[in-house]
Amino acid sequence: MSNILKHAERELSLIGYDGKDAYNNMAKAAIMELLTTFANQGHSGFSANYVTDVFNKLARYKILSPLTDEDNEWNDVTEMSGYKHFQNNRDSAVFKDDTGCYYLDAIIWVENGGHTYTNNKSLGYIKSFPFTPKTFYVKVDKDNNILDTEEYNKAKEYYNNL
């Protein structure tokens, strides 16, 4: 067994992936299968970091290059929304309608204690293309007053209409 697989076995068992829970067993098998493939590819330090970084982004449906606003990036979702509306097929949180193009997760609001949420004030209008979506985490108090004005101002600079 390779060192990375031994490391994974040890670390997974320390967090309860020890064969006693069916869900953990399934997750552990999937993780070990991915790591076995990774180990068999024989990556060096550089390629290991590169491959895991790109894999991580793709596995989370993240984009690898900026959105272009080309017609082939948009799906017509008018039927679902009831008005002329398009959703980006590379990043599902990007939309386009008569008001412009916008990113739903421009701001994630962070309450005391770390709880997060989005609302209708979370979306940011895209200034221009090519565009790379960026999320800003802005601290608010219990009454939704902005506590982190520096981060909020960065969001306002990056997006229109915040």
Check residue 83 and give its pLDDT.
86
H or E segment and range at residue 142: none
In a domain, 76, yes or no: yes
> How does pLDDT run across 53-77, given as a tens digit for each residue?
999 999 999 999 999 999 999 999 9
Taking the C-alpha atoms of residue 8 and residue 28, their distance in angstroms, rounded to an integer, is: 9
User: Which is nearest to 19 in space by CA: 29, 7, 8, 11?
Assistant: 29
The answer on 116 and 94 residing in a single domain is: yes
- Domain span holding position 99: 71-158
Kindly tell me if the per-residue pLDDT of 21 is higher than 90: no
* Contact status, residue 136 vs residue 151, Cβ threshold 8 Å: yes
| Residue listed under structure tokens 């070990």 | 32
> How does pLDDT run across 92-110, given as a tens digit for each residue?
999 999 999 999 999 999 9
In a domain, 143, yes or no: yes
> What 3-state class would DSSP assign to 96?
strand
The answer on 78 and 18 residing in a single domain is: no
